[in-house]
Each structure stands twice: as structure tokens, then as C-alpha cells.
Amino acid sequence: MPEAPDLVVIREFLLPRLVGDVISGATERKPLVLRNMAGLASGGGLDFGTDIAGRRVESLERQGKLLIVGLSGGRELIISPMLTGGLMWCNASDRVAPSTVLIFEMKSGMHLRYFDQKRMGQVYYLSADQRGEIIRLENQGPDVIDEPLSLDEFKLGLKPFRGEVKGVLTRGRLVSGIGNAYADEILYEAQIYPFKKVTRLTADELVSLHQAVYTVPAAAVGVLRERVGDKIHRKVRDFLKVHGKKNDSCPRCGNTITAITANRRETNYCRRCQPGSLPDK
């Protein structure tokens, strides 16, 4: 899943290339991902490919784990890659990967391609006044890359939640932009057991969590800026300390990194640095 650090770098790469270009055509190669909300609003008679052709890209913004492409004529594309989605910027002549779902043909001769092996993401095509209908966009908390919440604001934001700390981080209501990978890294940095209830966090753990929520993604942006380049379709995660490092040695204490699958996702952590047990759930 592209998370805030990934999408910051993807946006920085695409911004000078995409904005100002014109979409000359669009092809939906596979169903389920595209949500033609503009078409639905017109009674279902508005064809996506016909309506988007000729529209100029006027802006490219990011909110949490979403990219928002502003188009001329008051249209927008909101891209939510979810678990397996991603973007590729390439020449029109480049081979089309089997996982490619949408192809946007640009007047410049380039392609912006959205791929999604399991088709779990969503690409919304809508009028700007329809934004409020996208719950995932409207229910986001302050962005994790933006100005940090103060410690008091952070604690206040946690008060409505009673669940496990990792789930609270990835839900996006406290802060937006954190997914599975960076939640693992944040909790490792803060030395907090991922399945601990937020109501049981100590005062010291709250301080550590608050700090890690902002320092870990910010540091990742710096690494990604150096390493991603034009390969925005590739997830660069090998520099992470625990996520995806099952059975490797903990870089802090040398203990073996543990992996537990729960809630349909794998959680990686160090049992020694992040002590806890499943009954703590």
C-alpha cells in the first residue's frame, strides 16, 4: 500500500510532468476499480472515456493515502490505491503490465497507468462538488506529514478510541497517511506492543508514540526522495527496520523479528523491544 511517505514522493515526481498536460484518452482495461460518480450523477449516460478526453490537468494534491488530480471543467480524479494499487509514468510504447487497470493517454505522448493486482483500490471520477460523498476522504484526521499535533492535541484525539494502537494508527481518524508498514515502524520506534489497547498506554508511551508518529514518516520521505527516482511504481521498503523483516535480527537488540497475521494483515515487531502478549488485546 502506498502510504503518505510514498505518495509525497510520487506527487513530487508527477507534479511538473502531469500538471499542464492534457488527457487525450483513457482506457478502462478491467472493471471494479473505476467509480464514475460524474456518470452516475448524470443518470448513468455519461461515458468516462468520452468525458475525460481533452481535459487539462490543473492540479495534483495529496490527502493522507489519496491523490487528487484536478481537471479542467470542474472534474477530479481521486486515486485511493489501497493494498495493491500503484501508479506508473511511462512512454506509450512501454509494455502494458497484466495488472494495469486504467491507462490515461497524455497529449505529451506519455502514459499515466494505474495498476492493481487484486483490484482492491478505487479511482473516483467526479465533479468537485461531489467530494463530500467520498467517506474515506471526508473522515481523515490531520495529515501525518503536515504540522504535527501538539502532545495535548494528540492525546485528545486518542480519547474516542478504545481499540488496539496499530488499528487506531491505520484507521486514519487520529492522523491520516499511515498504513500497515509505517504503523509497524512507528510502534517499533516507540517500543510499543502493536496489539496494546490505547486506553492502556502509559504516559511515557504516549509521549514516545506522539514523537514516532511524526519522525518516522518524515525520515522515510528523505530516504525515498533519494531512491525512488522515476520508478514511482516500485515500493521501496528494504530500509525499514521491522516491517517485512520476519525472522531477521532486530536492529536494536538482536532478537528475532516476529510476524503475526491478524485482521488480514501481517504485523512485524520485536518481542523484546515491544513486550506484550495476545491476551493484552
Q: What architecture (CATH level 2) is domain 151-280?
A: Orthogonal Bundle (1.10)
Residues 188-247: pLDDT tens digits?
Answer: 999 999 999 999 999 999 999 999 999 999 999 999 999 999 999 999 999 999 999 999
Q: What value does the CA radius of gyration of the chain take, rounded to a whole number of Å? A: 20
> What type of residue is 172?
G
Q: Three-state secondary structure along 64-101?
A: CCEEEEEEHHHEEEEEECCCCEEEEEEECCCCCCCCEE
Domain boundaries, the chain: 4-138, 151-280
Residue type, 232: I
Encode pLDDT of 133-159 as tens digits: 998 888 899 999 999 999 999 999 999
Beta strands in 92-191 (DSSP E): 100-106, 110-116, 122-127
Over range 73-97, report the average pLDDT.
96
Report, as an integer, the average pLDDT of 58-69: 97
pTM: 0.94
pLDDT digit string (tens) for 243-275?
Answer: 999 999 999 999 999 999 987 789 999 999 999
pLDDT of residue 40: 80
Q: Is the pLDDT of residue 117 over 90?
A: yes
pLDDT of residue 281: 46
Q: What is the CATH number of domain 4-138?
A: 3.20.190.10
Whose grid coordinates read 487520529? 174
Give me the DSSP letters along 160-179: T--SBHHHHHHHSSSSBS--
Strands (E), 129-263: 257-262
Condensed to tens digits (0 to 9), the pLDDT of residues 159-174 reads 999 999 999 999 999 9
Question: Quick one: pLDDT at residue 265?
Answer: 87
Q: Is the pLDDT score of 280 beyond 60?
A: no
pLDDT at position 48? 95
pLDDT in tens, 15-46: 999 999 999 999 999 999 999 999 886 676 78
